[in-house]
């Protein structure tokens, strides 16, 4: 049985995952308003992923016989200085989420909660991918700049991720 502290921490992680989804949807709206449909599409795919992460935790608690206790989500920012600023915030946010997942893993480890450790390993691997993806986009934006043909080409490249969704 999951300890009350671990139950509460996983319920809180559901909130963090939904906060992430809400943030990425807000960022997508910003990109749409700034004629960057590819960036917007990429961010909507992120929104879907974060929602699925929340549901993975949701389902895990239910499968373990724990009552899910949803918490309110934070209001995300709506304005950003530039696409680079936005993706620097994405990277920083993913690094924060990595810390939250690591904290859960530490907690589960101290409690010898092996099923939770196994579940969290998926999230740990996912966070490596999330940070790399955001870091790669920050690096590309730093190289190409924030206007002109290179930005348009990067926008199209990022839009391919969400094609067909």
Q: Which residues of the chain have pLDDT under 50?
A: 164-165
Map out the domains of the chain as residue ranges: 4-70+80-162
| 145/83 Cα distance (integer angstroms) | 9
Considering only the C-alpha atoms of the chain, give the largest distance between any 2 of them, rounded to a whole number of Å: 56
Rounded Cα–Cα distance for residues 163 and 165 (Å): 6
pLDDT score recorded for residue 34: 96
Q: Is 109 helix (H, G, I), strand (E, B) or coil?
A: helix
User: Is the torsion defined by CA of 61, 72, 12, 53 positive or negative?
Assistant: positive
Tell me the C-alpha distance between 109 and 119, whole Å.
Answer: 12
pLDDT given at position 165: 45
Architecture, CATH, for domain 4-70+80-162: Up-down Bundle (1.20)
User: pLDDT (tens digit, 9 = 90+) per residue, 15-26?
Assistant: 999 999 999 999
């Amino acid at each position: 049985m999951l300890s009350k502290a671990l139950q509460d921490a996983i319920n809180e992680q559901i909130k963090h995952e939904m906060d992430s989804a809400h943030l990425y949807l807000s960022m997508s709206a910003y990109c749409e308003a700034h004629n960057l449909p590819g960036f917007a599409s990429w961010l909507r795919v992120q929104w879907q992923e974060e929602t699925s992460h929340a549901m993975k935790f949701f389902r895990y608690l239910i499968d373990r016989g724990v009552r899910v206790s949803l918490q309110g989500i934070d209001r995300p920012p709506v304005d950003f200085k530039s696409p680079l600023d936005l993706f620097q915030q994405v990277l920083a946010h993913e690094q924060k989420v990595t810390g939250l997942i690591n904290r859960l893993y530490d907690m589960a480890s101290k409690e010898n909660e092996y099923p939770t450790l196994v579940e969290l390993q998926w999230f740990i691997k996912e966070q490596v991918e999330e940070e790399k993806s955001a870091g790669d986009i920050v690096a590309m934006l730093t190289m190409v700049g924030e206007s002109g043909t290179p930005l348009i080409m990067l926008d199209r490249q990022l839009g391919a991720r969400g094609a067909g969704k």
